[in-house]
Structure 1
């Protein structure tokens, strides 16, 4: 919400000592988010003056254009000669003149220069050149009483500061000058003057029927006739609309927008002569369509609230009007609407039709039903003043608006929650200042004002009291820590994994947990894959990503693409986070009351319907894993690096796993490793690593040979505290063994057999060579060489180590068919 300080000053008496910056700081102290304090004059410097056109000569040019050679009085005694290409002014008009030395927004410096055969000693400015409008076909003609040589910025009101405030969803009343002025009065302790108008008694207005009272608790209407279609918006009103970020259109439209900004009540004007019969409010019917003011034909949903006449829908309620009853250049009679709509219905309609509007922003946050009649009268008065219109007798009011309900608040509760000495009188004073009606003793009975639908619980009232007392007065004390409490084992495991990955040279990122509808197809997941069991959000931040992620990889892919677009080619990133897997066939979740603790049955039903949320660690690598340097050429990341990174995670968790090849999407068949916890054949699969499938790489716009890894952290038990190993002072015996096995035999299986057969004397074993030679070994065979390290609490002889080695070879022969290489 953009609010000119001069407009706020009409409702709260701001002393001269309160600068716009001090006003912004005061609003920040009571909880508003003032993002900027700006002025239209910020981008303008130098002599920008009021000038009077004394005379001009039209001079046709060879290019077909006609320029005007003007003599302009800028209060210097002698006029200045200025070349101007516009023709929307006459002799005697007041204009805005930028003299040499002026810098306009852009920046655009002004200097005396020769053009069209004259030396133009300045420039006559248009609204676009000053950055206050889009009209570039004509210059600004001032319709005010001013003297040549005066400050044009002051005459135009460009020195008026504007507060740019981000309004949170719970403070819809601040989407108006009225609401912000009320907040300013509370922040500064000044008197507040509300918007007032002489409202007639309800009855005798335009006929209206409301069929859905839940969707429309109140509908008010007023008829205005005799509007002069030639009447234009006064300059001060157009200027304020531009200051608030709105474009002036026509008097009727501008007045409704102006009153909306002033009061917070959105209004809509129907051309009365284009309406057919009475107005109605109902839900849309199947198959109905509506052409909105933007010219788009929209298929209406049965959940949409619509305003109708005898011919059908004429407006999408609370969002946008229809083209069939649009106010046009020839409109002379209006039906003004000021309604109160169900916030959730308007929010759904705006998102469903992708049609956010100034009206829907206010309705979905809640609008004050008590201001509707005042806003209608204010609108009628402005149309009468500037458009020669007259308000027809009668005022239509259907419905009483949303009901207010009392909220019980213990007088000591704000002090207890804030940790400040806040007495009952202070609580009552601040709640009354907000607009509440307060009664009672130790337990206050509070009736919130009509413009604060967000005050529904005691906690809301406590927040109001504390923010007015001052957030800056809240004590900042760390709670005392009890000894013996630290990270839980699962937290320690997650931290160890993140630290191990960072130490391995990877960079941690944080991705949004939302994905698109086609992400499972782009990953190439089969139809029965659990990763297709995505949870769909009822109210997503973006319709393009309505699903919760079932794998961390798409978020990492998006991060890679973003970095590629910024020139970063060598990437190794990781993320740890939750995945969300829907429970097939789960019943709809119950909504327990917030007044009492849920029953065990309700808690059980909630837990049964919640999606599974396993925690995973994922890695994506592309480009060079090792850059080129003095120690050698660059080395690209391969599937082996992804496997090694998975081993880094597993070593950090001290988990013993088996590694075997697998064919799992989205990895490349033959370049994918599967990690199994426990028995290699019957254990739990905890993740995969390898090179991504080329189709997946193409679908996500990734570099060729991109590698990835994903492991289920929750499947790994937190390791027990590390016990120091017994260190032998005796020397080890080192023996090598080369075994010939069939090509399909996995090295991990062979290593496991050697470890099992060697017994307790074996301290370590590692694969150090793979050899293939059909001439020496035979077809379909390979040789795997292992280094074995034996040690005991005594001096081992070669004979002892040889017996253990032979036992290891025998076990390997039994389990894999291995034989010693000749």
Structure 2
């Protein structure tokens, strides 16, 4: 948003200099992004009239002009501007003047002809970027008048970097309320009277776009002078606001947009047929726009059309065929309110960014169209003449939102700001901002004007008080209060320590996004209990991750694609599933969720992925590919850290579809599944373009962090006894099953159970195996006898024979 400082000062009395104004605006959240001083250093530049012009005898592109500068005698000036001609009034820098660019004006001889001064362009004067020719001044500008007085200089062009929630400041009238509140003054906004209606021509208006276009006003102005020139004061305000003057009609609509914040558009009324229809575009409909581009539209666009053709893309840009041209005498002025949701993204879809779309997609006051239409008509009649017809109106009041009162509690205001603001100051701030204030028992009821879309709740009102009261006036204070020291529970391993332990074992920590692509999850078999995002950042980030493994595997693939053969990664983060904890069982195809309507469950998890060699490259041992038992060893180390390895077990059954059926395991704690371990399924590895050596581990985090409380025990006084036994068992019986049965059977007498040999081959049936184990037996109250030890052996063998079909080998 760019504007002229002088224009703003006309609307509100600002008792501060330019620097203070810029600082106050920035501190109030209206950041001054750029400040350009205009018209300084123009002493010696006056209004002059070219009374004669002849071709330079030695240069085709130069003219020798005779100029009246109000000094009583004509000055001879050599000029190369293409628009230099007899009768126009232009700026003249007299000999001795110094222009803003550092150009000192001296008498000179150009190609043999003397020149006593310089006729200037707007760029040379530092008031605009136009260097195409001389700056032409109004015909009634007094000859000899200082140029600064003629152009209303000096001035400054402010450019604000507005946040999207302040569309009201995209017009000078809206900005004036903030400035008045900041400096404790009043706004001087003129009342807008209705323009006298002298024409009778009408045109029907039909609204067919529903809530996307709830209000549309129009008026026909006939008999304007198409050659009318925009007044200098209006043209200069446009220039200083970043807009180039074009024609009287276009300049008037742009001026009203800058003044009020309401975009307008003018159509050539003679190019319209029948009623104005505001409707949605039809799929595939096209419209040639003002810039000459062809817009291909769909049902998401709102069109302004007549009964036969589209005229404009509503809130974005007008059409080429209905534009106001150099010979247009009858125009149809449009002032409408379009819902922000109907305009958002439409200009970007067309590759455009217009002043109108910038305002409409942020929100324009729905009460402005009437005032804007009257203001534009008033200016147009004063500049170009003509007769104005009646205001034509169509609206759907039910689709126009009305501002509601919002409560502000006095105690809440003080608590949030940390400082007490006087009641009178609070009321002054809101009144200056154009809001209606009513006292209540706890504070105030504030009703914002229809232009303030951002006032929705109490926090918005507190922000307004803070902005205008001044952040500099809010004291900085260190928060007081005692800090409660949190005692680290001994029964839980510190999460940071777990990360350090994994790093010590050669793993690198990865941090992945919590969102993944739905097709990637489908390839893993995660199809149930998924938590889709309502507004994803992209299609590749559309679902909350139900597992850490897909993201970690993608990181592993990324590293392997960059010549990293040995990759070892871990991640500690949360996973998300609908209705039940993912630790119970992984979602898989064919499984139905009975809790799809329940809120998502977040579960802290730990995942590991590894591939390549088991050990880093070295000379001490030969290279060996990582296998199931290497990752199982890392799991055993984590389990042992908790001090209760006997509560953990691994099983070959109940594996998810993404694990290798013969090289995977289900991990359980106290009989409940807490995770999975093993090699990826070969089919999944091929789908993900991975090798066959990728192994993974995923566990619920809390069971891993659980730790047995340390207890003091005396050193045993009585010796331990060892008995070794060898058992012939079915191949399908796992060691974890054997260990669990023996520990339960022998209880406190068994201090340790060691597996020291596994054999299959000659003397053992093909479907069976031989396991040799050592039973370390000890009693805290006495020395065990041979009979006691033999009894323990018999009990262990008996339970294994009965449960696992084991046979004692001789």
- For normalisation by structure 2, the TM-score amounts to 0.66
Alpha-carbon offset, residue 802 of structure 1: 5.5
Matches within 5 A, 1:302-701: 306-311=303-308, 317-318=314-315, 320=316, 327=323, 332=328, 335-344=332-341, 346=343, 362-376=359-373, 392-399=388-395, 401-440=400-439, 442=441, 443-471=443-471, 473=474, 476=477, 478=479, 480=481, 496-497=494-495, 499-505=497-503, 511-525=512-526, 529-531=527-529, 533-537=530-534, 539-542=535-538, 545-556=541-552, 570=567, 572-581=569-578, 609-619=597-607, 621=609, 627-628=616-617, 656-661=647-652, 662-679=654-671, 683=672, 685-693=673-681, 696=684
Q: Structure 2: how far apart are the matches of 1:236 and 1:575?
A: 60
Alpha-carbon offset, residue 452 of structure 1: 1.0
Q: Structure 1: how far apart are the matches of 2:616 and 2:489?
A: 38
Instruction: Name the CA shift for 1:446/1:773 in 2 (closer, same or farther; >3 Å).
Output: closer
Alpha-carbon offset, residue 425 of structure 1: 0.9
Matches within 5 A, 1:154-169: 165=161, 167-168=163-164
Does residue 742 in structure 1 map to residue 714 in structure 2?
no
Q: Structure 2: how far apart are the matches of 1:721 and 1:470?
A: 56
SS in 2 for 1:450: coil
SS in 2 for 1:576: strand
Q: Structure 2: how far apart are the matches of 1:580 and 1:56?
A: 86
Q: Structure 2: how far apart are the matches of 1:618 and 1:91?
A: 79
Does residue 724 in structure 1 map to residue 725 in structure 2?
no
186, 196, 200: which one aligns with 2:195: 200
146, 168, 172: which one aligns with 1:173: 168
Q: Structure 2: how far apart are the matches of 1:142 and 1:645?
A: 80
Alpha-carbon offset, residue 504 of structure 1: 1.0
Q: Structure 2: how far apart are the matches of 1:722 and 1:397?
A: 80
CA displacement 1:529-578 (0-9 Å, x = unmatched):
424x44451x4444664444444445555666777899988462414225
Aligned to 2:206: 209
Alpha-carbon offset, residue 703 of structure 1: 7.8
**Size of the alignment, in residue pairs?**
690
Alpha-carbon offset, residue 436 of structure 1: 0.8
CA contact (8 A) 2:649 2:668 kept: yes
RMSD over aligned Cα atoms: 5.8
CA displacement 1:299-345 (0-9 Å, x = unmatched):
416xx755443237655654x45768664878946544332234455
Aligned to 1:792: 779
CA displacement 1:390-448 (0-9 Å, x = unmatched):
68444334447532333444455423554422231122112112221223365534321
Aligned to 2:110: none
Q: Structure 2: how far apart are the matches of 1:464 and 1:795?
A: 81
Q: Structure 1: how far apart are the matches of 2:57 and 2:747?
A: 111
Alpha-carbon offset, residue 292 of structure 1: 8.1
Q: Structure 2: how far apart are the matches of 1:702 and 1:184?
A: 64
SS in 1 for 2:578: coil
Matches within 5 A, 1:246-265: 260=257, 263-265=260-262
Q: Structure 2: how far apart are the matches of 1:341 and 1:417?
A: 36
Instruction: Name the CA shift for 1:760/1:240 in 2 (closer, same or farther; >3 Å).
Output: same
Instruction: Name the CA shift for 1:651/1:216 in 2 (closer, same or farther; >3 Å).
Output: farther
CA contact (8 A) 2:217 2:334 kept: yes
Q: Structure 1: how far apart are the matches of 2:576 and 2:281?
A: 38
CA displacement 1:624-677 (0-9 Å, x = unmatched):
686546877888766656656666776778793432235424444444432334
CA displacement 1:368-391 (0-9 Å, x = unmatched):
2233345456666888899x6968
CA displacement 1:478-520 (0-9 Å, x = unmatched):
474697987999xx96x84464134312566655444444343
SS in 1 for 2:451: coil
Larger radius of gyration: 2
Aligned to 2:802: 814
- For normalisation by structure 1, the TM-score amounts to 0.65
Q: Structure 2: how far apart are the matches of 1:177 and 1:422?
A: 28
CA contact (8 A) 2:676 2:697 kept: yes
CA contact (8 A) 1:172 1:366 kept: yes
Q: Structure 1: how far apart are the matches of 2:251 and 2:692?
A: 56
CA contact (8 A) 1:454 1:460 kept: yes
Q: Structure 1: how far apart are the matches of 2:206 and 2:805?
A: 89
SS in 2 for 1:369: coil
CA displacement 1:189-208 (0-9 Å, x = unmatched):
57656698776379976532
SS in 1 for 2:363: coil
Aligned to 2:77: none
Does residue 755 in structure 1 map to residue 743 in structure 2?
yes
Stretch moving more, 331-340 or 427-436 = 331-340
Q: Structure 2 regions of 5+ residues with no counterpart?
A: 38-54, 63-79, 92-122, 138-150, 581-594
Alpha-carbon offset, residue 298 of structure 1: 3.6
Instruction: Name the CA shift for 1:372/1:689 in 2 (closer, same or farther; >3 Å).
Output: farther
Q: Structure 2: how far apart are the matches of 1:613 and 1:182?
A: 48
Alpha-carbon offset, residue 467 of structure 1: 3.8
Instruction: Name the CA shift for 1:620/1:296 in 2 (closer, same or farther; >3 Å).
Output: farther
Q: Structure 1: how far apart are the matches of 2:625 and 2:242?
A: 58
Q: Structure 2: how far apart are the matches of 1:693 and 1:248?
A: 70
SS in 2 for 1:745: coil
CA contact (8 A) 1:582 1:611 kept: yes
CA contact (8 A) 2:280 2:299 kept: no
Q: Structure 1: how far apart are the matches of 2:773 and 2:557?
A: 42
Q: Structure 1: how far apart are the matches of 2:4 and 2:622?
A: 63
Q: Structure 1: how far apart are the matches of 2:56 and 2:698?
A: 79
CA displacement 1:596-629 (0-9 Å, x = unmatched):
xxxxxxxxxxx99443323141535356686546
Q: Structure 2: how far apart are the matches of 1:384 and 1:486?
A: 79
Aligned to 1:594: none
CA displacement 1:345-370 (0-9 Å, x = unmatched):
55598999999976566445432223
Instruction: Name the CA shift for 1:437/1:803 in 2 (closer, same or farther; >3 Å).
Output: same
Matches within 5 A, 1:109-148: 141=132, 143-144=134-135
Q: Structure 2: how far apart are the matches of 1:383 and 1:560?
A: 68
Q: Structure 1: how far apart are the matches of 2:467 and 2:482?
A: 28
Stretch moving more, 788-797 or 622-631 = 622-631
Q: Structure 1: how far apart are the matches of 2:561 and 2:393?
A: 57
